[in-house]
Amino acid sequence: MTLYSRIVGTGSALPERLVTNADLVVELAARGIESSDDWIFGRTGIRQRHLAARDETSSMLGERAARAALAAAGLAASDVDLIIVATSTPDYVFPSTACLIQKGLGAAGGAAFDVQAVCSGFVYGLATADAMIRTGMARRALVIGAEVFSRILDWSDRGTCVLFGDGAGAVVLAADERPGILASKLHADGRHEEILRTAGNVQGGAITGHPFLTMDGQAVFKLAVSVLDSVARETLEQAGLRIGDLDWLIPHQANVRIMSATGRKLGIAPERVIVTVDQHANTSAASIPLALDTAVRDGRIKPGQLILMEGVGGGFTWGAVLARM
């Protein structure tokens, strides 16, 4: 019997604190930084974001999203034998955020580890879990994207601090005789590492390097649109399908301009692109599973539909996963 993996449940979690653009403008003004709702929305498509409380961590948000996904799948935490967490903002240097979530869920015994591919992390994790299920190394997996990016933002840099939010999204993958994940492609090019990074570290109890996110926005935009177009076509070709076969495109929710440009380049109508960046801002590895869960729960995504999830992020990394729901 040929084994495949299928998405059988989705879930998400957001911090309680909701910060609109108007709220953020006031907070930035108190720091001597000028901005406006029109400036933020016009350049990004963002209207609001959720920001974590001081004691709220990636593992806390990830555990909540995982529990929601398990409930949607009708499974218990003990049914899971693999947990993969995509995050750039782990609770600790180690142990992994996945191990902390495993502890919180009470699901000890199976493999648990983090992947670090920044905003591409969720598709990297999904492709990894799919491969492990197909080879029989796991039967049911939680794949989680969880971030508290507000911790690594320079709140004096209006070009980056307005872009990001915190949150988590999760899916349950289960072994099945029916194909669910149809194809995946992952790429990276470390030559572009300087255009989007947080180049700090801890050494001898002190921070070395730059502890905040930095970005060359124009370079990221140009490269992102190019690689999102190519990896979408490559992944569909691997499955023997065409762009016209897609029901939904779920891109990384970085910026509405990147998503719109990608959709136009692929020839996908705007109404077939899932957009939640206006609600959540850029939540890095959490953005795709958050968008997926939103669209599943509001009824847009239905069983049997074909979806393409694609991400691009610092590293520079990019990838896509094609799935039949």
From 21, 119, 161, 192, the catalytic residue: 119
Catalytic residue among 50, 192, 252, 280: 252
Catalytic residue among 50, 255, 280, 282: 282
Residue 304 neighbours by CB distance under 10 Å: 7
Contact 288, 121 (CB under 8 A): no
* Three-class HEC string of the chain: CCCEEEEEEEEEECCCCEEEHHHHHHHHHHCCCCCCHHHHHHHHCCCEEECCCCCCCHHHHHHHHHHHHHHHHCCCHHHCCEEEEECCCCCCCCCCHHHHHHHHHCCCCCEEEEECCHHHHHHHHHHHHHHHHHCCCCCEEEEEEEEEHHHHCCCCCHHHHCCECEEEEEEEEEEECCCCEEEEEEEECHHHHHHEECCEEEECCEEEECCCCEECHHHHHHHHHHHHHHHHHHHHHHCCCCHHHCCEEEECCCCHHHHHHHHHHHCCCHHHECCCHHHHCECHHHHHHHHHHHHHHCCCCCCCCEEEEEEEECCCEEEEEEEEC
Secondary structure, 3-state, 245-260? HCCEEEECCCCHHHHH
- Note if 99 is an active site residue: no
d(CA 29, CA 14): 25
Whether 192 is catalytic is no
Cα separation, 311 vs 320, in Å, equals 6
Catalytic residue numbers?
Answer: 119, 252, 282
